[in-house]
Amino acid sequence: MEPLGGLECLGSVTSTNDVLRERARAGAPEWTALIAEVQTAGRGREGRSWRSPPGDLFLSILLRPVLGPEALLALPLLAGVAVAEASASFGASARLKWPNDVMVGERKLGGVLVEAASSGGRVDFVVVGIGLNLVAEAGEIATELRTFTTSLSAETGRSVAALDAARAVLARMSLWYDRLAREGPASVLGAWRSVSVPWWGERVEVISSGTRVEGMAHGIDESGALLLLKDDGVTLRVLSGDARALRRVSG
Ligand code: BTN
């Protein structure tokens, strides 16, 4: 364990989010941040696991937000913006697929898992977990992975150290967090829209807590929910889930 200007570097952990949650319960201050070399039980959104081989970034950041409900709902999008901008600062043309999948084209470069702890109706703390693929994996599994995922090294030809990537993400997070506190969610949502995958007007499907819905994506609302116009004309606000564009088959 090596403290590094507020950013702690750990070796092998189950999940950086779990380690940081324990620290938060023990009173760790806001902006406590840690990275790990490897995670043995890395977690993704929607109950998925997160592949966590050495060389990639596994970062968790503790926030103790004193924000209204709308601003709180913007945190997952804010974290996505921070990761997309940090990735761009290393030369990757990253965009965000709702809510916060960091994509280059059709391939996933990184992801964000935001977990909140509340009591008595108020949020005690939020752990923002960020996974960013820095290195291209070798071996048999790599061929299959390359269909769906990419890495900063594959996209830019540069090798980026986890510590440098973490610092870049933290810098963008802190900037956007300040703006969120000062200006409310509008500026964060604007930034999110400007780096989002431009699929508005396209048919998408969303799997949310095991349920599938389909419709035409026509934006996000002021709380970051995906607006999906269903075939029956009803617009659905989807608060969380995994979305993908349904490509029309031509010919
Ligand atoms: C996703 O499914 O897209 C979100 C992936 C989030 C992975 C990161 S890695 C650091 C932190 N620790 C975890 O166990 N998960 C998050």
Residue 243's CATH number = 2.30.30.100
**∠ CA 66-69-72, rounded to 5°:** 65
Q: Which atom of ligand 1 is nearest to the CA of 44?
A: 2
- Are 75 and 63 in contact by the 8 Å Cβ rule? The answer is yes
Range of the domain at 209: 203-248
- With 70 as the cut, is the pLDDT of residue 69 above it? yes
Q: CA triplet 48, 29, 173: central angle to 5 degrees?
A: 60
Mean pLDDT of the chain: 92
Q: Are 97 and 144 members of one domain? A: yes
Least confident of 25-39, 68-82, 130-144, 202-216: 130-144
Alpha-carbon span 213 to 216, nearest angstrom: 10
Is the full-model pTM beyond 0.85? yes
* 50 CA from centroid of ligand 1 (Å): 6
Q: Which atom of ligand 1 is nearest to the CA of 100?
A: 3
pLDDT in tens, 165-188: 999 999 999 999 999 999 999 999
Tell me if 17 CB under 6 Å of ligand 1.
yes
CA atoms within a 13 Å half-sphere pointing along the CA-CB vector of 73: 16
Residue 70 is predicted with a pLDDT of 86
- pLDDT recorded at residue 180: 95
Longest dimension (CA), the chain: 61
Task: Answer yes or no: is the C-beta of 45 below 6 A from any ligand 1 atom.
Answer: yes
**Ligand 1 nearest atom to the CA of residue 101, by list position:** 3
Give the model confidence (pLDDT) of 120-156 as tens digits: 889 999 999 999 999 987 665 666 677 789 999 999 9
C-alpha 64: how far from chain center = 18
Q: 237 alpha carbon to ligand 1 midpoint, in Å? A: 24
CATH number of the domain within which 170 lies = 3.30.930.10
2 part of a folded domain? no
**Do residues 15 and 128 both lie within one domain?**
yes
